[in-house]
Structures are given as C-alpha cells and as structure tokens.
Structure 1
Amino acid sequence: MSSSSTKEPIRIVITGAAGQIAYSLIHQICNGDVFGKDQPVILHLLDITPMMGVLQGVVMEIEDTSLPLVKGAIPTDSEETAFKDVDVALFVGAMPRKEGMERKDLLNANVKIFKSQGTALDKFAKKSVKVLVVGNPANTNCYILAHYAPSIPRENFSCLTRLDHNRAKAQIANRLKVSPENVKNVIIWGNHSSTQFPDVRSATVNVNGKDTPVYDAIKDDNWLKNDFISTVQKRGAAVIAARKLSSAMSAAKAICDHMRDWWNGTKDNEWVSMGVISDGSYDIEKGLVFSYPIQIKDGKISIVQGLKIDDWSREMIEKTQKELVEEKNDAVKATTSD
C-alpha cells in the first residue's frame, strides 16, 4: 500500500480556477509541493458559467498529469458544490480592474462576489477551513469575506502578501549577489497595494556563513528607503507593463509558500508576511485585514511582537493603514447600498 493512500484526502477549493494564476498553481498542489507528498487531494474548481468549457480542459489536463495524489477534480459554477466540506479555500478569482474603472467600481463589483462567496463558505465549508484571499483588492476582499462568514474563526482568514515578501527578498538578494534563501525576516506591512511598506529593519542576510543585519550588509540607507521600497511596491505593475499580463507564476509560487508554511509551520526564529485580521497589534485598527510579520506553529498563526519601529517606519505603516481603512469603509458602504 503506497503512503499516498494512508491519509484521507483533503478538499481544496480554488476560485477563478480557469484563470492563469490557477493554471500555474494547480500542478504544484497536485504534485504534493504544498500539503505534502503523502497527502491526497480533491480539487473543487469554481469559475463563472461562461468559463465551464475552459475548466473542462483544465480537468482533462489534471487527469493527463496522472499524479497519484489527485483523488478527484470537480469543475463547477455552483458555490454550494465548490465550498462543500472544504479544508482549504483559495480565493484566486476576483473582478479585475479594467481600463477606465474607478477603484470604487472595482470595490463594488468585488463586494458582491465576496459577499456571496462568504455566505456560501459560512454555510457549506468545514469550520476549520483555512482561507487565503488572493484576488485584489486582497485585504478588503478578505475583510468582506470574513464578515459574511461569521461562524468561521477569525484566525482562519488570511490574504496574500507573500508575493511582496518574496519580491523584497529577491531585491535584497540581487543587490548583495546572494541566494534569496540567505535573506531572512523581511516584513511587508499593510495593504497589498502600492502603499505597502516593505521593511528590512529587522531582516538579516547570511554572507559568508554569518548572519548580518541587512542595513549593515547593504550600507546604503538611501537605496533601502527609496528605490528598494518603490521597486517592491510597483513590481506588479512593472510585470504587467513587460508581460502584458499580471504575475501568475510568481503569484502561484507565493500562494504555495503561504499555504505550506500555514500547514507545516515556520522555522524557529523566522517569520513570513501574511495579511491577517488585526488584533490591535502595533496600533493597527482591530478587525482590519493587515499584513504583519507572522510565525506559525501547529497550524496556529501568531503576530510577531515587540519589534522596534522607528518614527519613519511608523509613518510608512500609518500611510498604508489609512488607505486600508478608507477601502474598508468604502466596501462596507457598498454592502449596505445593495
């Protein structure tokens, strides 16, 4: 009997499953790169009705990969079928911003989607479901989703800022000509938007076998406070400008990193960045979905406490918080105007 058949399969819903991020993501999940090489999976693939033909093609490809961990792939446009008894919910789909669209229009469209999906999640998913919102505006979509799924614990909701975290590590690694795995404990604070604050004040880099503070290794405060931050903040837009499509491969990798750490835990004395529902840590409004430095043990997420924040950093954190509060208020208004 192979080890892959000794565990019960877990059910994973992916929304926007016919899209390009999902296309990069599905193989990594089916291959055991996220939940383990001995963990069978059943995929629930949700998309809108006009995409059902495309989704059928995705299911054919999943079958054709012939991977032993896959115990089923269910294509559907029904929220009930999609969210029924799921252990993991990956909200990859969202209404994308189209040319000439105001942020308010984007919020209104997404509020409707996440209100509906949150209600379905609340009704049909397991109460232990681990939720990751990827579709933008990710923090606010996560806030709406959690609001409409009140019976699921608040600590089970998260949004993706791991892509920004990985981008920040890559920029530091490139600058110092080291491998990104040598860079530890960068932080993304706040919103997954151009106001996010990539913070390396507590980060270290391993150079010649020795952990050194990033500030000491780079010796260029001006670069760290300007070019580095704006490169990370605007990286998504730069990819779109170059590729004429948004980040898919790197976004899928970040989703896998986020879920793998949530599933297996973070390394001792290391943290990652995740958008979670604020408990008031670092004077952030309680209830706001905000990206923090996070440690995970036994599937439990905790915000790293006691990090030193200077006045300049505090200002950067305030700026991204202000944007998030405005976004949240607009979204709440949109839900009540339905």
Structure 2
Amino acid sequence: MAKDPVRVLVTGAAGQIGYALVPMIARGVMLGPDQPVILHMLDIPPAAEALNGVKMELIDAAFPLLKGVVATTDVSEACAGVNVAVMVGGFPRKEGMERKDVMSKNVSIYRSQASALEKHAAPNCKVLVVANPANTNALILKEFAPSIPECNITCLTRLDHNRALGQISERLDVQVCDVKNVIIWGNHSSTQYPDVTHSTVTTKDGEKAVPGLVNDDEWMKGGFIKTVQQRGAAIIKARKLSSALSAASSACDHIRDWVIGTPEGIWVSMGVYSDGSYNVPPGLIYSFPVTCKDGKWSIVQGLSIDEFSRKKMDATAIELADEKALAYSCLN
C-alpha cells in the first residue's frame, strides 16, 4: 500500500543550499525511495521569482515521489501541516557587521518562523536548523515553539561529522563507508571538537581503532581537528561559494537517520538539547554522538573522556553559553 505523503519544509529554498537540497528530497534521498513527499518552499519576497523558477524545475524533473510543491513567501502558508522542517534560511554575517548584529537579525528571523511552526506545523514536527549560528538559532526556535517537543528540535553537525569521516578515509586510504563512530562535540563553529578517540575502521581482519591505525597523535590533535573545523572556509576560498552540495547531502543524512534509524553499532553526530550528559550544561543545543530508533535519538552514553577531550568539549560549551547569552540579550 502506498504511503501518505510527508510534507517537508525548506526555508531559504531559492538559495544555494536549498537549490541543492530540494531535488535530493524529491528523489527520496532524505526519507527513502518509497516515501512520497510534498515540498513546502519558503523564501523572502525579493527571492520570489527565483523561488518560482525552482518550482518550475522541480515540475520539469518529473520526480515520481513528488506529490506537490508549495512555493511561497508567506511563512504561515509555508509551515501549514509540515511534518519535517529544514531551516536553511538565515541572515549571513556581512563585512563590517558585529557578532551581535548578526545574532539580532537571526533571533528576529527564528522567532518569527518558530511562531509559525508553533501555530501551523503538524503535531510532532521534526525540525533541523542548518542556518548559522545553527545551535543558537535552534535554541531560539525552541524558545518560541514551546509545543514542539525539545527532542524534536535539532541542528546540523552531520556535515562536520561527514567531513571527519572523509579526512580519516583519505588519511588511511580506506573507503569512507568503512570508517565509523567519529564524534563532533559542541558548536557548529571553529570551536567544535572532532573526536576520533572511539572511531574504528572495518578491515579484512576485523574492526581496528583509528588512533592505532593513524599512529600520529600530533596530526589527530592538530591538523585533523583544524582541517575539519575550517573546512567550510577552505571550500569558500576554493569555490568562491559556500559548501552547498555537502551541506544539503548532510541534511538528508541527518533526517534520514533520525526518521529511519541508525544501523546497529553506528552512531552519528547531531546538535540536540543537552540533558547534562558528559557534564555539558543543560539548556544548550550541543552536538553529541547519538543513535536513532523509531524516530527518536538517544545520546550514546558511557564513553571515556580523556583530559584533552574534556578541555575541548568544555571550550565549545563555553562558546555556546556565550552565544546563548548574546541571543537572549537580543530578545529584550
């Protein structure tokens, strides 16, 4: 029996990431090859013509799973009945802007969009925030959409997670699908901590620990971390554009694993509401290793944390607490 369509909202849909993301959703990359979707696309009024162009292309592509397209600049219409919301739209930092100016703009955007989701989204809507500062934007959204369970509001650190997998794959000259259980702790920013302490590689001789295979502590605690932290900037320097393709693919990975579940023995990184695990202060949206089952995520518990990791995890938590304070000051 055919499944009922799932309504998926993409904000900022006429932008670079949105343009890469919507065909992936329509093709079944996000929710599976047998799940019909109705796409809701939102953008700002100046982008209305471009948004209509994206809608025309979606129609022209004749995706079998795509059962409808809503393209609008009205936030209430965009949020009506949506089951999944991917929040790509945000205000980017521009030259000469202070951090508080950017935060103030995004607080205003996410306050408005949260209110619309609160009023119009389907019950139990799952939300993924992509736009930066992603963790703090998700926190603001949570504040103004109180009926959406806090466990249903997440932010994207899967891009960083996938970047870490890619770096280990290249370093060891192995297939990326054979590398598992890297961790991104903390903020989707340059303070994030990509951690390979617990990661492994599947070899013909069984599972091997990444630290032993790499056998280069200096690289793992230096060059590897820096490369993952600064990968977005490196891509902008190379392309003169942001990493839209990998961000869109990672957003699909995030939602797919959340909805369908993670394979046995594998965890992924998601920015989720802290419950105090690993001594991370409650009340922050912080990236943890998680497993997913039956549409719910659970933080992986009981991992040993060495002194180096503890310092890195605490540093990114401090940055998130500062961002939270700055965001809340913009609410007044």
In the TM superposition, residue 209 of structure 1 has moved relative to its aligned partner by: 4.4
Partner of 2:81: 85
Partner of 1:267: 263
In the TM superposition, residue 208 of structure 1 has moved relative to its aligned partner by: 3.2
Aligned length: 332
Match of 1:151 among 147, 150, 153: 147
How many Å separate the matches in 2 of 1:236 and 1:319?
A: 20
Does the alignment pair 1:21 with 2:41? no
How many Å separate the matches in 2 of 1:133 and 1:54?
A: 22
Partner of 1:222: 218
Does the alignment pair 1:47 with 2:56? no
Does the alignment pair 1:315 with 2:306? no
Counterpart code for 1:96: P
Structure 1 moving runs of 4+ over 3 Å: none
Does the alignment pair 1:243 with 2:239? yes
Deviations 1:53-103 (A, max 9, x none): 001100000000011111111111111101111000000111011111121
Preserved contact between residue 127 and residue 153 of structure 1 (Cα < 8 Å): no
How many Å separate the matches in 2 of 1:268 and 1:208?
A: 19
Counterpart code for 1:250: S
In the TM superposition, residue 271 of structure 1 has moved relative to its aligned partner by: 0.2
Deviations 1:19-77 (A, max 9, x none): 01011111111011221222111111000001010011000000000111111111111
How many Å separate the matches in 2 of 1:238 and 1:38?
A: 37
TM-score normalised by length of structure 2? 0.99
Partner of 2:278: 282
**Structure 1 counterpart SS, 2:70:** strand
Partner of 2:91: 95
**Structure 2 counterpart SS, 1:301:** strand
How many Å separate the matches in 2 of 1:202 and 1:9?
A: 39
Partner of 1:204: 200
How many Å separate the matches in 1 of 2:237 and 2:113?
A: 31
In the TM superposition, residue 127 of structure 1 has moved relative to its aligned partner by: 2.2
How many Å separate the matches in 1 of 2:276 and 2:255?
A: 24
Counterpart code for 1:190: G
Partner of 2:183: 187
Counterpart code for 1:49: P
Partner of 1:256: 252
How many Å separate the matches in 2 of 1:36 and 1:187?
A: 25
Does the alignment pair 1:31 with 2:27? yes
TM-score normalised by length of structure 1? 0.97
Q: Percent identity?
A: 55
Preserved contact between residue 259 and residue 296 of structure 2 (Cα < 8 Å): no
Q: CA 1:209–1:250 in 2, change beyond 3 Å: closer, same or farther?
A: farther
How many Å separate the matches in 1 of 2:157 and 2:300?
A: 16
How many Å separate the matches in 1 of 2:153 and 2:46?
A: 29
**Structure 2 counterpart SS, 1:291:** strand
What's the RMSD between the two structures over aligned residues? 0.8
| Structure 2 gaps, min length 5 | none
**Structure 2 counterpart SS, 1:116:** helix
Match of 1:105 among 90, 101, 105: 101
In the TM superposition, residue 207 of structure 1 has moved relative to its aligned partner by: 2.9
In the TM superposition, residue 111 of structure 1 has moved relative to its aligned partner by: 0.3
Q: Which range moved further: 202-211 or 318-327?
A: 202-211
Counterpart code for 2:91: M
Preserved contact between residue 185 and residue 288 of structure 2 (Cα < 8 Å): yes
Preserved contact between residue 173 and residue 180 of structure 1 (Cα < 8 Å): yes
Match of 1:123 among 119, 122, 126: 119
How many Å separate the matches in 2 of 1:58 and 1:42?
A: 14
Q: Which range moved further: 209-218 or 105-114?
A: 209-218
In the TM superposition, residue 105 of structure 1 has moved relative to its aligned partner by: 1.1
How many Å separate the matches in 1 of 2:241 and 2:63?
A: 29
| Structure 1 gaps, min length 5 | none
Partner of 2:64: 68
Partner of 2:169: 173
